[in-house]
Structure 1
Amino acid sequence: MLESASLFSSLMTQTNGHPHVMAYYFKQWQGFDMPFHRHDATEIMYTIQGYCEVEIQTRPSHTEKVALKKGEFIIINANVPHRLIVDAANPCRMLNVEFRFTSNKGVFPSIQQLAAEDKLLISLLESEAPYLVLRDGDEVYHIMKSLVLELDKAANRSDLMVQLLITQLLIRIARLWRETLNSGELQSERYVKISMEYLHQNYDRDIQVKDIAGAVNLHPGYLQRIFKSLTGQTLMAYLTVIRMEKAKMLLLETDVPISEICDYIGVGSRQYFHMLFKDYTGLTPTDFRKSMHAEKRNYPERS
């Protein structure tokens, strides 16, 4: 059973607590399939290089899979079961920081006091989500790296600097989260949009799913899933629609020989083009051109 439905426990905004880093590390992962696990610390997993997948159990018997590529990170709430998956052929270098909220010490303001002064921070802390995925413009990474380097100083470490850095990290994440929400575009929708643009620009070439996935830097299987989920079509089915619509335009508006149209739209075989076109329109390319031209001639011109 999951112990919390929100990204952070609401208790942290009601007590004089402050974030305390429990663990932090750089790690190069390759060919790794982690079992599901949970811990009582909120975790930030930042992808420095490569590609990985994270599975999160958001409800009993329900898991969600998130793909992370360079410059993206995930925040997972404490006690939420999750696991990391890294393909052997695609290594992934990550920076992880785990923290929980403890009793406030020293002169640094509590998280409650800070949240009272920053509406975006309080919105992040009260977010009703077991995890968040965001894309960074390097600012979050640099703050995380500075935090880790300060923590590594051991005896020479400044606890005040640590508190400043982790507070800065949370505030920056809160702003980035709000910017993402205001954009009105989910990450998966952005991947699908870029994939569509790639297909419209390259339909005349021999395209495979791996080429499209490479253009958006995602695993082919994951891209296939989100594309089908959001459009109701596979990538190849969408490409076929583009090609057939281009073929219709060429047949109707140009004198390009039918034998050459397959080359214009990236279909290598004339026979295969004829089969695709008839499946799509119910007519052969020749019959389509004749019928459309006949329709044009019979359509009365406006005076």
Structure 2
Amino acid sequence: MQNSGSLFHAFLTEHHCLPQVMAYYFKQWQGFNMPFHRHDAVEIMYTIQGYCDIEIQTLPTQTESVSLKKGEFIIMDANVSHRLIVDEAAPCRMLNVEFRFTQQKGVFPSIHQLAAEDKLLATLLEVKSPYLVLRDPDEVYHIMKSLVLELDKAAAKSETMVQLLIAQLLIRIARLRQEAASSGMAQSEWYVKQSMDYLHQNYDRDIQVKDIAGVVNLHPGYLQRIFKSLTGQTLMAYLTVIRMEKAKMLLLETDVPISEICDYIGVGSRQYFHMLFKDYTDLTPTEYRKSMDTSKWEYPEKSWDF
């Protein structure tokens, strides 16, 4: 059976194949104009910092240009002619991974078998475009980084872990594609959603508005305005809700001492935590733990229905 470099090809749904990483690297580019080239492998080019342009030759006489900024990536099918362009004044740091598909060996599910169980992955494999450009809320980058670190272990690497990570990577990309196609989300709504996601993942840390704004690459004042406009809350008020709901869960479902809960939820002092909790519930933490033994806690929604 022949091997295939293509992701968007019926070959993968007709044969049992596993992905095999051919190349992977971090690279900082500056003032670079790459000549057009192609390779028999799927390539994911992820922009970690800065921005770049990629020109894709879709037809012999037709070229399309794509701009990638921080947190965006392109997945390019095999044998698609393309080149990278990076401005001299603005360096761009990227993470690239290239992989092909080989005949299945061992017991790990093939791409065909995974697609049979995951409809979005099956839909991704049916894409007719030579490339896809997607915005990443950090999941894809962390999977790619974990994959690279595992591959770097050389003889000590686990092939099972490599296959698990590539499967996770492809399924995550398939979900991002579906979300991008179905949401029609406005740019400001995307910034708000990313801010919410960041707060849900980092509520236990000391967070300021400037930290959130830095994550989504916006001016703090502008982010505050669009967040309040779309949610009716300030960023810090939303963070307080997350922290207080987490505190309620810890009081009800765990034996964590009340004196330590402020450390679990990122509130600087016990006294300040008690003040916030009393304002939020009309009870002190001690009163809440004693009186709410059988109560259910409700966690705030992670994102809004835009």
TM-score by length of 2: 0.59
**Whole-angstrom distance in 2 between the partners of 1:13 and 1:95:** 28
Match in the other structure for 2:252 = none
Letter of the 2:78 partner, please give it: A
Match in the other structure for 1:48 = 48
Match in the other structure for 1:37 = 37
**Whole-angstrom distance in 2 between the partners of 1:151 and 1:22:** 11
**Whole-angstrom distance in 2 between the partners of 1:113 and 1:15:** 9
Match in the other structure for 1:17 = 17
Q: CA deviation at 1:130?
A: 0.5
Task: Show structure 2 runs of 5+ residues with no match.
Answer: 192-215, 218-306
**Whole-angstrom distance in 2 between the partners of 1:105 and 1:162:** 14
Match in the other structure for 2:166 = 166
**Whole-angstrom distance in 1 between the partners of 2:43 and 2:155:** 25
Match in the other structure for 1:178 = 178
**Whole-angstrom distance in 2 between the partners of 1:18 and 1:78:** 16
Match in the other structure for 1:135 = 135
Task: Show structure 1 runs of 5+ residues with no match.
Answer: 195-215, 218-303
Once superposed, what is the RMSD of the aligned Cα atoms?
2.1
Asked if 1:106 is matched to 2:122, the reply is no
1:7–1:130 CA contact under 8 A, matched in 2: no
Match in the other structure for 1:144 = 144
Letter of the 1:153 partner, please give it: K
Question: Deviations 1:233-292 (Å, cap 9, x if unpaired)?
Answer: xxxxxxxxxxxxxxxxxxxxxxxxxxxxxxxxxxxxxxxxxxxxxxxxxxxxxxxxxxxx
Rg comparison, structure with higher value: 1
**Whole-angstrom distance in 2 between the partners of 1:145 and 1:14:** 30
**Whole-angstrom distance in 2 between the partners of 1:125 and 1:150:** 25
Match in the other structure for 2:153 = 153
Matches within 5 A, 1:163-242: 163-184=163-184, 190=187
- SS class of match (1:108): coil
Between the two proteins, what is the percent identity of the paired residues? 74
**Whole-angstrom distance in 1 between the partners of 2:184 and 2:18:** 32
- SS class of match (1:20): strand
Question: Deviations 1:47-81 (Å, cap 9, x if unpaired)?
Answer: 00001000001111100000000000000110000
Match in the other structure for 2:95 = 95
1:8–1:42 CA contact under 8 A, matched in 2: no
Letter of the 2:113 partner, please give it: Q
Match in the other structure for 2:121 = 121
Question: Deviations 1:11-66 (Å, cap 9, x if unpaired)?
Answer: 01110101111000000000000000000000000000001000001111100000
**Whole-angstrom distance in 2 between the partners of 1:52 and 1:21:** 24
**Whole-angstrom distance in 2 between the partners of 1:21 and 1:168:** 14
**Whole-angstrom distance in 1 between the partners of 2:51 and 2:89:** 10
Letter of the 1:129 partner, please give it: S
**Whole-angstrom distance in 1 between the partners of 2:83 and 2:106:** 36
- SS class of match (1:100): strand
Give the aligned length.
188
Runs (4+) of structure 1 exceeding 4 A deviation are none
Q: CA deviation at 1:105?
A: 1.2
